[in-house]
A = this chain, B = another copy of it.
Amino acid sequence: MLIPIEVSARHIHLSQKDLELLFGTGHQLTIKQTLSQTGEFAAQETIELIGPQNSLSARIVGPTRPHTQVELSYSDCHLLGISAPLRLSGDLAHSASLNLVGPAGQLTLESGVIISKRHLHIDTASALTNHLHNGQIVQTKITGERGGILDQVVVRVSDTFTLALHLDTDEANALGIDSHNHQAELLV
């Protein structure tokens, strides 16, 4: 089974409350580009992440969510000067902190900064066909001059998901993922 690879650069999901603190009361995100997962989009808006050592710009991924969440690579953390835990999206307890700056305000995110665990999105019907269940840990094989096998890939199943392996920029760079090498083989 071949899975399209999608590479996630650092980005932020904002709660409506935090969006308004950063961009002003009543602000609504503007869609720049729709993403493969149903309803998700890269917004026109970006914010600044302020770390102890450096700051970095991060794209907002919409729509807004119940909790603000920043997803970084280890490289980003090193540059910002913070240490963030490796987590699945949404698992934010005792995660890292950053200051966020937008055009209309700023805030301290006390917790919500993570490095995203590599994971695989799959719709419920395809998961059944392929004997996969939500939370299962699988391996994926990537070919090419920097090929290898990534362990610890978490399967995430939902009716609305589109088949995709999500890696961060460190993982993509390390495995030589580019526009010519963007498929992985599922090993169960």
Binding site for B on A (CB under 8 A): 73-75, 78, 86, 117-118, 139, 145-152, 168-171, 173-176
Contacts and interface: CB of A to CB of B under 8 A. Distances in A.
B174 A86 contact: no
Copies per complex of this chain: 2
B148 A151 contact: yes
28 contacts: A73-B173, A74-B173, A74-B174, A75-B75, A75-B169, A75-B170, A75-B173, A78-B173, A86-B145, A86-B146, A86-B176, A117-B145, A139-B148, A147-B151, A147-B152, A148-B148, A148-B149, A148-B150, A148-B151, A148-B152, A149-B149, A149-B151, A168-B174, A170-B170, A170-B173, A171-B174, A173-B174, A174-B174
What are the 10 closest A-B residue pairs judged by CB atoms, nearest first? A174-B174, A74-B173, A170-B173, A149-B149, A171-B174, A147-B151, A148-B150, A170-B174, A148-B151, A148-B149
